[in-house]
Chains A and B, each alone.
Chain A
Amino acid sequence: MMLFDDPVFASRFLTLLTLSFHIIYATIGVGVPLFIMIAQWIGIKKNDDHYILMARRWARGFVVTVAVGVVTGTIIGLQLSLLWPRFMELAGQIIALPLFMEVFAFFFEAIFLGIYLYTWDRFEDQRKHLLLLIPVAIGALMSAFFITIVNSFMNAPQGFDLINGELVNANPIMAMFNAAMPTKVAHVAVTAYMTVAFLLAAIAAFQLIRGSNHAYHKKALNLTMKVGLIFAIAAAVIGDFSGKYLAEYQPEKLAAAEWHFETEEGAPLVLYGYLDDDNEIKAAIRIPFALSVLAFGDPFAEVIGLEEFLPEESPPLIIHYYFDTMITIGMFMIFLSLLYWIGKTRNWAFIQSTWYRWLIVLGAPLSFLAIQAGWWMAEVGRQPWILRGIMTVEEAATTSDYVGLMSIFFLLLYIILGVGTVVVLRKIFKNNPVENELASTQGGDSK
């Protein structure tokens, strides 16, 4: 099996595995603090216990996911050196700075999260407690910011010269502010917020389907769907900018994602479909001029096709499906949340219906799938390069023979952690339903 014979393949496999697993928790880690903050803020402002409880319950679930996020992040951080030693040796000289800054962001986040969680009742003024969340949310966002900078550097390396394989004239700041950075960072942040909004919405919708008719869940659903709509639109807008970035700086990735083989003006956008044995596109939907619009904002612009690149330097064509998945889900979620918003203002009955709520529940796994699809498209679409144009994945990988074996261990670990998260989260919330908790706070003291 390739996994055991080929360290390069095994390293790719293990990286794929670890990152795909980490990104689930990382997304939650970036997004949830913002929503806790919003809920707690509304709660204080409106003097509404429901929102305060919302913040508390989200925070209680959050600590469990943070724990797994932290350990999987630690894994990927060390694995970068274990699996891609040649890459880290080179890249360490030029892109270590944001990685290093990221650690400070974690530190900052970890400290204030610890304080926040254990001080719910220590402040007379709830607003002071809310203040503690700001560093948590900023810390999480900064982590995403810095790590995404590293990733954008891999797509658009700059800030140094290579002379005879030696890296000279290093300028770490220039390396950080590379061409891929603005769109990538923005898209990652916005999609994390969007995904978490729909995750929390799904939980609320699920409780409503199960028959709880408590105002708490309705408020939660209302809040998260509306915020989710804003971020979903933002994700699409910034996704469009990402397409323009690709057209200019990584045209081969865009061409592969779009099965755009020949350079042409007024290029159509190819959605879905499959390739037959002669690489002919079958059963696809073509939207005239749309690719030119995505790439340059001009229906007649010329879009470079794959024919202009060496076959061995062209990304795998499979990324087309990843791209389609991401865009379809993005559009679907905009549609779904827009419907909610309109339905809510016009009092349409169907947004209270079970089938519609099931769609909202479905939105959570779909949004996570979109995140995964987006990363697979971005990373696989960079192939064969690890540092675009400079170092290939093959050159970067470890020569150790045991990566395959380790991959099995890590796979088992992720299964255990994934199952553990679900079991523990269920237990926390099942034993402690909202109704009970509200009754006990309202009965007990006068907060």
Chain B
Amino acid sequence: MTLEIVGMTVLWTFLFGYIIVGAIDFGAGFFNAFSIITKKQHILSNVIQRYLSPVWEVTNVFFVFFFVGIVGFFPQTAYYFGTIFLIPGSIALILLAIRGSYYAFETYGNRGHKGYAFMYGLSGLLIPASLSIVLTIAQGGFVSMENGNPTLDYYALFTSPLSWSIVVLSIIAVLYISAVFLTWYANKTGDEKATGLMRKYALIWALPLIIAASGIIYELRFHNPAFYNQILDLWWMFGLSFLLWIATVLLIWKRKKYGLAVWLLIIQFALAFYGYGISHFPYLLYPELTVYEGFTNQAMAISLIVTFVLGFALLIPSLYLLFRLFLFDKRYVQGKKPKEGDN
């Protein structure tokens, strides 16, 4: 493996991590707001709050990791994407800011405040939508070089069916991933009503998900045939992903093994996501920038990788502790007080 590929794999993995934990987080915020509006709050809020509170900041770091890492490994992306991403990037940032802070305002300060809950619920859906635009841009066709500076053709971008399908997919994926996860989590808390409701949401979003995903592959055929052909070469990854999707839906349908369903879902998305990434290789931005041209110098690459390994050695035990205390601790999950007599 060359250093370029190591770097790209690390970054792609973190992006994947962000997509999964972010989707759970964003979707949970949305379901929370939705349940307040539809007056089903009593069913969901507890489950969602108990999961979200300790982890939301961790979710955000995944995102920061990705954009700091990509500038480190591929400094030229700062130039290309930085110049063209100003508007969608700024919108995403504003939404992220509203979401993060209003989440905290509601949770720590003003529990049950409808306006706050609504704000962070809605912004959570729009964030993936605005961030996903970067994937569309990276497929090429929307960027031209003017006076040596990359410029984005907003008209083409906003009228392209491809960009809208990607936006739609990102929203549906958020809802689906989050619903499946929360079905499992609610089930663990022993809350049957919440489990039932989340299960219903998971099933509702399952079919739209697969339709949107297939739609994108279909659009790509016209938009970027080279990329499309590379995707076809990796048909088995996408096929396997599809089979896992069926398996997940079946488990949820039959109310069986929700934990396994979550794992299958993660693998399903991983296969599709890495399949997509591999097909995109070696381009970072079609056709201007490849992984090889954009790569940093040897010394920086090696120091980043060493830092990454050391940093990870530090994080794994800490993350393990976090999950053990909050995700897998029976008493916490079920909302029981840790021991009697404390307040």
Contact = CB atoms under 8 A, between A and B. Distances in A.
Contacts of A96: 68, 71-73, 75, 296, 300, 304
A395 B22 CA distance: 36
A51 interface: no
B229 interface: no
A272 B49 CA distance: 54
A75 B101 CA distance: 13
A210 interface: no
B83 A108 contact: no
A410 B94 CA distance: 7
B155 interface: no
Interface in A404-420: 406, 409-410, 413, 416-417, 420
9 contacts: A66-B104, A68-B101, A89-B78, A107-B65, A107-B311, A111-B315, A118-B332, A406-B86, A410-B90
A74 B22 CA distance: 15
Given A110-B57, A111-B315, A427-B109, A81 B72 contact: no
Interface stretch (B169-177, B182-190, B237-245, B334-342): B334-342
B318 A111 contact: yes
A75 B93 CA distance: 6
A104 B93 contact: no
B67 A78 contact: yes
A92 B69 contact: no
A424 B300 CA distance: 43
Contacts of A122: 325, 338
Nearest to B53: A118
B159 interface: no
B61 interface: yes
Contacts of A74: 60, 63-64, 93, 96-97, 100
A115 B69 contact: no
Nearest to A112: B318
B108 A402 contact: no
Interface of B: 53-55, 57-58, 60-61, 63-65, 67-69, 71-73, 75-76, 78-87, 89-90, 93-94, 96-98, 100-105, 108-110, 149, 296-297, 299-300, 303-304, 307-308, 311, 314-315, 318-319, 321-322, 325-326, 332, 337-339, 341-343
A230 interface: no
Interface string A57-69: 0001001101110
Contacts of A75: 93, 96-97
Interface of A: 60, 63-64, 66-68, 70-75, 77-79, 81-86, 88-94, 96-97, 99-104, 106-108, 110-115, 117-119, 121-122, 124, 135, 167-168, 170-173, 398-400, 402-403, 406, 409-410, 413, 416-417, 420-421, 424-425, 427-428, 440-441, 444-445, 447
B310 to A, nearest CB: 8
Given A96-B304, A115-B322, A402 B72 contact: no
Given A100-B68, A424-B104, A424-B109, 6 more contacts: A74-B97, A78-B89, A112-B318, A400-B86, A402-B87, A424-B108
Contact of B71 (A99, A167, A421, A425): A99
A60 B108 contact: yes
Q: Which of A104, A111, A121 has the most CB of B within 10 A?
A: A111
Contacts of A135: 318
A398 B82 contact: yes
A70 B62 CA distance: 12
Nearest to A87: B78
Contact of B325 (A78, A115, A402, A441): A115
B90 A67 contact: no
A159 to B, nearest CB: 9
A107 B310 CA distance: 13
Given A74-B93, A420-B105, A173 B303 contact: yes
Q: Which of A92, A406, A413 has the most CB of B within 10 A?
A: A92
Given A70-B57, A108-B315, A122-B338, A172 B300 contact: yes
B94 A409 contact: yes
Nearest to B73: A96
B241 to A, nearest CB: 29
Contacts of A97: 72, 300, 303-304, 307
Given A72-B97, A108-B315, A403-B86, A88 B71 contact: yes
A21 to B, nearest CB: 10
Nearest to A426: B109
A103 B75 contact: no
B55 A114 contact: yes
A428 B110 CA distance: 8
Given A60-B108, A74-B64, A114-B322, A85 B78 contact: yes
A135 B308 CA distance: 19
A92 B343 contact: no
A392 B318 CA distance: 42
B67 to A, nearest CB: 6
B21 to A, nearest CB: 12
B319 to A, nearest CB: 6
